[in-house]
Amino acid sequence: CIMGKLSSAYRQLTEGVSQLPEPFDSQYHCGALLGSGGFGSVFSGQRLCDGLQVAIKQISRDRVQQWARLPGEVGPVPMEIALLQRLVEVGGHASVVRMLDWFEVEGRGFLLVLERPPHGQDLFDFITERGALPERLALRFFRQIVEGLRFLHAHGVVHRDIKDENIVVDTRTLDVKIIDFGSGAPLKETPYSEFEGTRVYSPPEWIVSQSYEAVPLTVWSLGVLLFDMVCGDIPFERDQDIVGAAPVFTRRVSKECQSLIRWCLSYRPEERPTLEEILSHPWMEGGEAEEEEHSSLPNQSL
């Protein structure tokens, strides 16, 4: 059988109990492939003790770009595990995916067991099916994402790859979760000189000088994401367009929403808002977004 390693959080729960770590296969069933990329592969899964639906992310050791140390662990673990473990230990956040467990499996690398919304769909597919979103719905999603990012930053984590593919929407509740911390890093105030995120979401300073700071990077990517939600596609495809930092709105978008997007997409990093300033922008303060009726969601015309 495949021997797994229980997370340190699980060990703490079972401290004082005389037992060996159970193998991965005795605790989880690994199902169909959901997606794959440079980060690894993600499979559907089920926790055997209670039938809970989960996502299982497999990361090969040779694909790990950053390593970290966890207390009580003999060897290093992928930075993604260390960051998600940190978030678990501070209680987590409703808009951030939670890691339930992790294992190191000989010959298979690392297996991360993650929560999976029962009616989840990534925001890229959500927009592809429905077209540009009504501003009220975009606001509902955007507020949750910004609050989730505030939580990450408050606990020393920067995601570095905010995009529609890394936001999962529960299509019944319209709640969202930020996923995929494969490009994440510990938050620091000094500039970063490496970037593993998505280029069309990267800011001008990275294109020009291969350097950026955590908050301006995050806010730029939020500007791209909000444009994507209300216009149905991202504003920039080429490096020269990113450096131009002049989004052209292809749909009717309110002046307040355009104002927020343009502020987030300011060329100079120091001129972009903070996450707190985003939340206090007039478009964001236009009242709590009400839940859209399901009948208004499917297949909105382009």
Sequence-distant (≥ 6) Cβ neighbours of residue 288 within 8 angstroms: none
d(Cα 210, Cα 254) in Å, to the nearest integer?
34
- The binding site comprises 34-42, 57, 115, 122
Across the beta sheet with 167-170, the strand order is: 120-122, 167-170, 176-178
SS3 content of the chain, % helix, strand, coil (to 5): 35, 20, 45
Report helix, strand or coil for 131: coil
Amino acid identity for residue 179 in this structure? I
- The binding site for ATP comprises 34-42, 57, 115, 122
Sequence-distant (≥ 6) Cβ neighbours of residue 130 within 8 angstroms: 297, 298, 299, 300
Give the CA-trace dihedral at 101, 38, 30, 158, to 10 degrees: 20
Chain center to CA of 278: 18
Q: Name the DSSP letter for residue 289.
A: P
Is 180 designated active site? no
Give the CA-trace dihedral at 273, 274, 275, 280, to 10 degrees: -60
Token readout for 123 is: 């925001």
Burial class of residue 302 in the structure, from the number of CB atoms within 10 Å of its CB (0-12 exposed, 13-18 middle, 19+ buried): exposed
Q: Which of 25, 101, 161, 228 is the catalytic position?
A: 161
Token readout for 71 is: 């207390």
Sequence-distant (≥ 6) Cβ neighbours of residue 246 within 8 angstroms: none
Residues involved in catalysis: 161
